[in-house]
């Protein structure tokens, strides 16, 4: 539906109001003991209960943070100043909250029932278009389901008449990480895997060789996942995969072996993929929110349709929780506010993600993109006068992580004893899906112990006493004891749920999606664009012809352009010399 109207003006807040809130947070952290956690536990026996929020079996324990009642009230006041409630309404009303691209951020429609009534309002100039996003997504989901069932039943076969056993997904960033984490979470260790899933993202030719090694082209279905269908890495890998299929099975095989997942139907057609093999989604889905869309087609192909649907149901349950629950009991809101405290009151520049579940081993990589591409911004949305100014406060921390317990044997040393405070999110399921309960108990014991150790630390007095008991000399105690001190008072959240099933996977990822939206709202930035990645892409496309062998340069008019700084010029020259192309 297209109509002419003035686009709604979202979320314009005067900076000074917010600045006072951020200033107050910093002042609270500067109080004596303002950064300490253990005194809060000592003062309040039921702290854990009061600082744990629940959504069914899913709990968020944020008690191991230096947030007391005053700090929590200040965070809620800041949320009010930033009009978080209004922002949440605009998000679910499908307003163009992605203001720099005039787009809604309506990924929730991908997991909502068809009749949920979720709309997306897209503004262009003075034109405003409203789409029934949930209905559109459901129609495409039906098409996906029919395709998945046809592949599984063998109705859709490869060019030589063999059924598909393997699915190779080519995509990068949001067109890779979300589908990968979900596919692994829904298939690793479970025995009813329907197809083998393979992922190719990096343009590095070794990645192509490694991913296709041992794959039988006759039994491989290739999915090209790209929202824009213009991404260099994906285009080059798709061309390589096409050549690989053609070399083995001939030109005609492309039609039966390829499918595309994109918003750019023109470019897909130009690649030669037929419309019935194209699964579309719309601009109101950001790349890093697209695993729920056709971009996630590999998930039901590998894990089965029912599990995919259950994952969508879990995400939708979290959407409804976020939309309908008062801020004080709202998990994404609380998770977001704790992060604001760590970043803006304590000045932490990092956030560690430790999922004590090997099936979530790619979760940190997905959350890196989700959080850092969404909230790695330094300019605020337009103020009341329509001016976009730099944020006077810090925004997204640097995320990193590994599965627990592996992380404990690598970087956790720094988290316990380094000079900087690194907040940690511990994530674990109470019940495992294997027959080694002892292993799962060991996993959980380590998660709980790490969180406790970070908070409690170990004092020099304790260490001295222990060393003396073990017969160490006073000189040795003086020299060694300080090295063994762990200062403690280091914050963490613990996110726990019953079991890592498809429903809880969906719920968990959606929890972080909405946390990102909450933080973006408080920081006053656009969480849904990603302009920062454009410059590198532009420069790379300029440099590419300069790296072209001498003999082929006449085909590349840009090749001799140069105009780089002396370091880049020298690096290019050295590269060409080492390759014998100078
Ligand atoms: O360069 C960043 C980015 O645009 C991400 O936002 C996106 O997820 C990724 O590249 C891949 O983009 P596409 O799906 O359009 O190929």
Q: What is the pLDDT along the chain (582 residues), one digit of tens a residue?
A: 444 444 444 455 566 689 999 999 999 999 999 999 999 999 999 999 999 999 999 999 999 999 999 999 999 999 999 999 999 999 999 999 999 999 999 999 999 999 999 999 988 778 888 999 999 999 999 999 999 999 999 999 999 999 999 999 999 999 999 999 999 999 998 778 999 999 999 999 999 999 999 999 999 999 999 999 999 999 999 999 999 999 999 999 999 999 999 999 999 999 989 899 999 999 999 999 999 999 999 999 999 999 999 999 999 999 999 999 999 999 999 999 999 999 999 999 999 999 999 999 999 999 999 999 999 999 999 988 899 999 999 999 999 999 999 999 999 999 999 999 999 999 999 999 999 999 999 999 999 999 999 999 999 999 999 999 999 999 999 999 999 999 999 999 999 999 999 999 999 999 999 999 999 999 999 999 999 999 999 999 889 999 987 677 655 555 556 789 999 999 999 999 999 988
Q: Is 409 a catalytic residue?
A: yes
CA neighbor of 148 nearest in space, from 300, 303, 313: 300
Helix (H, G, I), strand (E, B) or coil at 501: coil
**Catalytic residue of the set 252, 378, 537, 561:** 537
Are 243 and 353 part of one and the same domain?
no
Are 245 and 345 part of one and the same domain?
no
**Centre of ligand 1 from the C-alpha of residue 172, in Å:** 6
Helix (H, G, I), strand (E, B) or coil at 65: coil
480 is a domain residue: yes
Q: Is 152 a catalytic residue?
A: no
342 is a domain residue: yes
CB 459 within 8 A of CB 467: no
Residues 6 or more apart whose CB falls under 8 angstroms from that of 440 comprise 431, 432, 434
Mutate to test the pocket of ligand 1, among 175, 295, 296, 368 (most ligand atoms within 8 A of CB): 175
100 is a domain residue: no
Are 467 and 372 part of one and the same domain?
no
**Centre of ligand 1 from the C-alpha of residue 120, in Å:** 21
pLDDT (0 to 100) of residue 560:
55
Domain that holds residue 557: 545-579
**Catalytic residue of the set 373, 402, 489, 513:** 373
**Centre of ligand 1 from the C-alpha of residue 174, in Å:** 6
Are 287 and 340 part of one and the same domain?
no
316 is a domain residue: no
pLDDT (0 to 100) of residue 196:
97
Are 139 and 271 part of one and the same domain?
yes
Structural domains counted in the chain: 4
Are 248 and 198 part of one and the same domain?
yes
CB 105 within 8 A of CB 91: yes
Ligand 1 atom closest to residue 172's alpha carbon, by position in its atom list = 11
CB 499 within 8 A of CB 65: no
540 is a domain residue: no
Instruction: Give the 3-state DSSP-derived string for 146-208, with helices as H, strands as E and coil as C.
Output: HHHHHHHHCCCECCCCCECCEEEEECCHHHCHHHHHHHHHHHCCCCCCCCEEEEECCCCHHHH
Are 295 and 186 part of one and the same domain?
yes
Q: Tokens for 196?
A: 């083998």
Are 437 and 526 part of one and the same domain?
yes
109 is a domain residue: no
376 is a domain residue: yes
**Catalytic residue of the set 409, 470, 483, 554:** 409
356 is a domain residue: yes
Are 245 and 301 part of one and the same domain?
yes
**Centre of ligand 1 from the C-alpha of residue 202, in Å:** 12
Are 438 and 480 part of one and the same domain?
no
CA neighbor of 127 nearest in space, from 16, 6, 45, 43: 6
The ligand 1 site (C-beta within 6 Å) comprises 172-175, 226-228, 231, 234, 287-288, 373, 530, 533
**Centre of ligand 1 from the C-alpha of residue 364, in Å:** 18
Are 391 and 349 part of one and the same domain?
yes
Are 484 and 494 part of one and the same domain?
no
């Amino acid at each position: 539906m297209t109509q002419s109207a003035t686009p709604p003006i979202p979320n314009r807040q005067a900076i000074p109001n917010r600045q006072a809130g951020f200033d107050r947070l910093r002042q609270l952290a500067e109080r004596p003991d303002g950064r300490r956690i253990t005194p809060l536990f000592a003062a309040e026996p039921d702290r854990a209960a009061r600082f744990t929020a629940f959504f069914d079996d899913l709990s968020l324990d944020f008690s191991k943070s230096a947030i007391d009642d005053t700090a929590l009230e200040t965070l809620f006041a800041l949320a009010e100043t930033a009009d978080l409630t209004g922002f949440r309404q605009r998000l679910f009303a499908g307003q163009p909250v992605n203001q720099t691209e005039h787009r809604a951020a309506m990924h929730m429609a991908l997991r909502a029932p068809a009749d949920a009534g979720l709309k997306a309002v897209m503004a262009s100039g003075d034109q405003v278009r409203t789409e029934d996003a949930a209905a559109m997504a459901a129609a495409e989901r039906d098409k996906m389901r029919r395709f998945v069932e046809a592949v599984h039943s063998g109705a859709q076969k490869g060019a030589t008449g063999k059924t598909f056993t393997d699915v190779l997904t080519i995509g990068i960033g949001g067109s890779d990480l979300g589908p990968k984490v979900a596919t692994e979470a829904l298939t690793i260790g479970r025995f009813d895997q329907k197809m083998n899933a393979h992922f190719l993202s990096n343009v590095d030719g070794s990645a192509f060789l490694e991913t296709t090694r041992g794959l039988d082209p006759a039994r491989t279905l290739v999915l090209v996942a790209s929202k824009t269908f213009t991404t260099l890495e994906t285009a080059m890998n798709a061309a390589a995969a096409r050549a690989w299929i053609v070399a083995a099975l001939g030109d005609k095989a492309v039609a039966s072996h390829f499918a595309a997942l994109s918003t750019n139907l023109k470019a897909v057609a130009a690649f030669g993929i037929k419309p019935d093999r194209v699964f579309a989604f719309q601009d109101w889905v950001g790349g890093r929110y697209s695993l729920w869309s056709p971009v996630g087609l590999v998930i039901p192909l590998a894990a089965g349709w029912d599990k995919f649907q259950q994952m969508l149901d879990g995400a939708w349950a979290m959407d409804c929780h976020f939309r309908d629950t008062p801020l004080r009991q709202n998990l994404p809101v609380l998770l977001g506010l704790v992060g604001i405290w760590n970043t803006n009151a304590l000045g932490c520049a990092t956030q560690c993600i430790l999922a004590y579940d090997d099936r979530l081993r790619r979760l940190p990589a997905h959350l890196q993109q989700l959080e850092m591409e969404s909230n790695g911004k330094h300019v605020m949305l337009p103020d009341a006068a329509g001016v976009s100014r730099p944020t006077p406060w810090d925004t997204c921390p640097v995320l990193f992580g590994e599965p627990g317990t592996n992380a404990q044997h690598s970087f956790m040393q720094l988290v316990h004893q380094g000079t900087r405070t690194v907040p940690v999110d511990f994530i674990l399921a109470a019940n495992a899906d294997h027959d080694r309960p002892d292993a799962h108990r060991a996993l959980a014991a380590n998660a709980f112990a790490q969180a406790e150790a970070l908070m409690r630390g170990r004092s020099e007095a304790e260490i001295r006493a222990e060393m003396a008991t073990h017969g160490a000399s006073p000189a040795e105690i003086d020299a060694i004891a300080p090295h063994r001190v762990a200062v403690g008072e280091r914050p963490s959240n613990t996110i726990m749920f019953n079991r890592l099933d498809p429903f809880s996977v969906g719920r968990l990822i959606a929890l972080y999606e909405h946390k990102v939206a909450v933080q973006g709202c408080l920081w006053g930035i656009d969480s849904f664009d990603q302009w920062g990645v454009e410059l590198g892409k532009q420069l790379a496309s300029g440099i590419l012809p300069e790296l072209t062998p001498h003999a082929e340069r006449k085909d590349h008019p840009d090749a001799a352009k140069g105009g780089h700084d002396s370091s880049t010029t020298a690096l290019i020259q050295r590269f060409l010399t080492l390759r014998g192309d100078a």
